[in-house]
Amino acid sequence: MKPVDTFAVEDRHMPPFFTKIPLSIERGEGIYVWDESGRRYIDFTAGWGVTCLGHAHPAIAGALAEQGRKILQNPNSGLTYSPARARLIELLTGILPANLTRVFFSSSGAEANDAVIKLARKATGRMDVVSTEQSFHGRTISTASATGQAKHRERFNPLMPNYLFVPYGDAGAIAEALGESTAAVILEPIQGEGGVNVPPDGYLREVEALCRKTGAYLIVDEVQTGFCRTGPLFAVTDLGIRPDFMTLAKGIAGGFPFGAFALTEEVSAKLEKGDHGGTYCGNPLGCAVAHAVIRHLIDENIEQNVKSVGAMIHEQMLLWQERFPAMIADVRGRGLLLAMEMAGAATAERVFGETLKRGMILNLIQTKVIRLCPALNITPGEAEVALSILDEALEAAAKG
């Protein structure tokens, strides 16, 4: 067979949803990827946070091969039991907040968020959902309607009704928005796609208390922050927050398309057969991979690696901010979910381009925010190499 021109085929036949980087990535290993010409790059995006153990990790490859030889999808899907699913549920319920004892699976974070919004309305008999400005909860019509960024909503009118938006990090604004018709508040512990926005200390506790007072459910979207991305297994782990729903995806399966949502016994008691479903509701292959990934995160104490390497990178970012004050407006984040907000879009593009020239791929969001989101098992030595490349790129961008 003749070689396929990857660029030409994708440009000719894929819808124009992305402005693509001119890279055709053929394979990966750890934090590195190789394009079709054989050039190596450092991946500092982790596939938008999903490849939490890097590329081609043996634990994932082993789980895929082992489960693939058994069964991929159950007959009658969720109507039959699955030992792979049961093992994953048992593992998850041992690490989730203690009040979240029921788990259901999806193929993505958007599906999980879509489901919990629907179920919160069903369980409360109320319609309004309070969300936050700059949030991102998915691209289904319901989750796009719940996303607090006009660029993701206004092109899809008519939107789903009964969504209210308040400033992120402002518990007082949530207090004003809550009422007798509020079914739920949905928020991210740290806004990822919105710019890696970290709320004030105590914010989540205040929101939880407000929800308890008014009878609204608290939905915590841990799609990006979950599974050690910010250090602990979940961003709410060390805060003692007890959400009514939690949504999970991205790092849950290390790159395999998979998601989940968890809920309390109290909510589950208000739901009935037929309230939700799905063909891939915890298919054995996805469950086996997710189990292998989570087990590795725990057994290898990846939380500590995230904290130590994340602190090293964050410290360097602060030094860069001092050195390039005209270029870097802010640095922020937790663990290995970090960001540099540049002075403007043009500056961010220059840094991105200079970094790419030097063999490193970054993630540019909100036009001027560079998100640093590498694999969670990145070593200090690998991080130092990446930081040296970024240092050179910042220097070149400053001169350019």
Please count the other Cβ atoms lying within 10 Å of the Cβ belonging to residue 132.
28
CATH of domain 60-299: 3.40.640.10
Q: What is the DSSP string of 162-180?
A: -EEEE-TT-HHHHHHH--T
Averaged pLDDT, 236-243: 93
Give the span between the Cα atoms of 339 and 157, in whole angstroms: 32
Q: Is the peptide bond before 158 cis (omega within 30 degrees of 0)?
A: yes
Class of domain 301-371+390-400: alpha beta
Q: What percent of the chain has pLDDT over 70?
A: 99
Dihedral (Cα; 4, 64, 300, 331), 10-degree rounding? 40
Domains 60-299 and 301-371+390-400 share a fold: no
What are the tens digits of pLDDT across the range 47-99? 999 999 999 999 999 999 999 999 999 999 999 999 999 999 999 999 999 99
Short-list 131, 126, 222, CA closest to 174: 131
Give the span between the Cα atoms of 116 and 65, in whole angstroms: 32
Give the span between the Cα atoms of 245 and 99, in whole angstroms: 10
pLDDT of 249 above 70:
yes
What are the tens digits of pLDDT across the range 150-200? 999 888 889 999 999 999 999 999 999 999 999 999 999 999 999 999 999
Domain chopping of the chain, boundaries: 60-299, 301-371+390-400
CA distances from 357 to 40, 74, 184, 311 (A): 11, 46, 46, 26
Q: How far is CA 16 from the centre of its chain?
A: 23
Short-list 32, 64, 31, 57, CA closest to 300: 57
Give the span between the Cα atoms of 222 and 231, in whole angstroms: 13
β-strand partners of 334:
337
Q: How far is CA 180 from the centre of its chain?
A: 31
Query: Is there a contact between 21 and 51 (Cβ–Cβ < 8 Å)?
Result: no
Task: Dihedral sign for Cα 47, 49, 54, 58, please.
Answer: negative
User: What pLDDT is stored for residue 157 in this prediction?
Assistant: 87
Give the span between the Cα atoms of 367 and 347, in whole angstroms: 10
Averaged pLDDT, 16-26: 94
Does pTM top 0.95 for this prediction?
yes
One-letter amino acid at 234 equals: F
User: What pLDDT is stored for residue 53 in this prediction?
Assistant: 98
3-state secondary structure of 156: helix
Q: What percent of the chain has pLDDT over 90?
A: 96
* 143 phi/psi in degrees, rounded to 5: -75, -30
> Residue 1 — pLDDT band, cuts 50, 70, 90?
very low
Give the span between the Cα atoms of 125 and 203, in whole angstroms: 27
> Residue 2 — pLDDT band, cuts 50, 70, 90?
low
Give the span between the Cα atoms of 371 and 156, in whole angstroms: 27
User: What pLDDT is stored for residue 345 in this prediction?
Assistant: 97
Please count the other Cβ atoms lying within 10 Å of the Cβ belonging to residue 90.
11
CA distances from 218 to 147, 192, 247 (A): 16, 19, 11
Alpha helix (H) ranges present in the chain? 6-13, 46-49, 58-68, 83-93, 109-124, 141-145, 150-153, 171-177, 203-214, 265-268, 284-299, 302-323, 345-357, 380-399
Q: Could you identify the residue written with the tokens 């970290």?
A: 198
Short-list 197, 187, 143, 133, CA closest to 165: 133
pLDDT of 400 above 90:
no
